[in-house]
Structure 1
């Protein structure tokens, strides 16, 4: 009954009760996919300002936003799902009455007055969550200290001491950054600056 009532207030029809249906993004909405640690903190920042949010079986969160409103975003652990010229992307959308995991469900229920999230407000919450969870943003590709693979989303996790330049910065990919103890972000940024100044000396 609730799913039917919800569908009457939306420009698209959620799947029938008790199911999940792959729906194309970029038609009525785009989706912002966020890894769980950053997503959970963003939910806290947004509070009642959040629109409906889907959570999948892995804990990943998906916000629905207006089509085209988030295409230029560049945040760690965040991917915008939208329509492409030569590719169709689908998102598994649960019925409106699925509100508990571990199956895909509405973490923030879909309903009248709670549908799309304001893109600017979501970006602000995600940017704050990104910084809080992953520390200062570093531009460019770095090598993860743990898995020894290059990452385009490096996280500063420590300061290396010694060496001809008097030290450097230890980086990790977002997946392995959580394995390191929390660090003082400002102190690490200062260390990075010292390393750069030393390299140019």
Structure 2
């Protein structure tokens, strides 16, 4: 006998005892957000969120209508959909798995929580991106750590020079959390700037 949710929803995960890889772009597209941005977006959405999966790393996945997020460009956010030459899969847990550890439904799938409105999700993720990662630099930048160019640069430090503007340090999303500021160098730069101000 089917539950009320199963009768009212256009899609339900197939019965399974473990996480199952299902193709994006068939019933839904999925939006994947890194933990820092995803958590803030989930908070901003509140009751407007649809079902959300959380994997063992804390990454969050929303379901949206197929084709509704084709032009998105946000840091630490990816849209999983069917591509022309390949298929993308999402690990979907059984509907009964609503707690970790491991992949589980952070917001359980139900008639009230299925697809998230793509525009509202984009707004929440864009606000979360700005709040958690700061202003969006224009153009590609080189990551301080891996020394590779990134289209998703995050400003991790602005080093003030005693006589000039100093320099900005960028990181790719993967290395954003690994940068450690040099407190001694920062204090010395501030001191130089103060001394220069006094002597002008």
TM-score tier after normalising by the smaller chain length: 0.7 to 0.9
Q: Quick check: 1:146–1:176 contact (8 Å CA) kept in 2?
A: yes
**TM score, norm. by length of structure 2:** 0.82
Tell whether 2:145 aligns with 1:146: yes
Q: C-alpha separation between the residues in 1 aligned to 2:17 and 2:30?
A: 22
Question: 1:62 aligns to what SS in structure 2?
Answer: strand
Question: 1:41 aligns to what SS in structure 2?
Answer: helix
Partner of residue 172, structure 1 = 171
1:9 to partner: Cα distance: 2.1
1:10 to partner: Cα distance: 1.9
Tell whether 2:112 aligns with 1:113: yes
1:4 to partner: Cα distance: 4.7
1:165 to partner: Cα distance: 5.8
State the structure with more CA Rg.
2
Q: C-alpha separation between the residues in 2 aligned to 1:167 and 1:144?
A: 17
Question: May I ask how many residue pairs the two structures share in their alignment?
Answer: 181
Question: RMSD between aligned alpha carbons?
Answer: 2.2
1:57 to partner: Cα distance: 1.5
Question: 1:178 aligns to what SS in structure 2?
Answer: helix
Q: C-alpha separation between the residues in 1 aligned to 2:11 and 2:102?
A: 22
1:13-92 correspondence to structure 2 within 5 Å: 13-16=12-15, 18-92=17-91
Show structure 1 runs of 5+ residues with no match: 183-201
Question: 1:75 aligns to what SS in structure 2?
Answer: coil
**TM score, norm. by length of structure 1:** 0.82
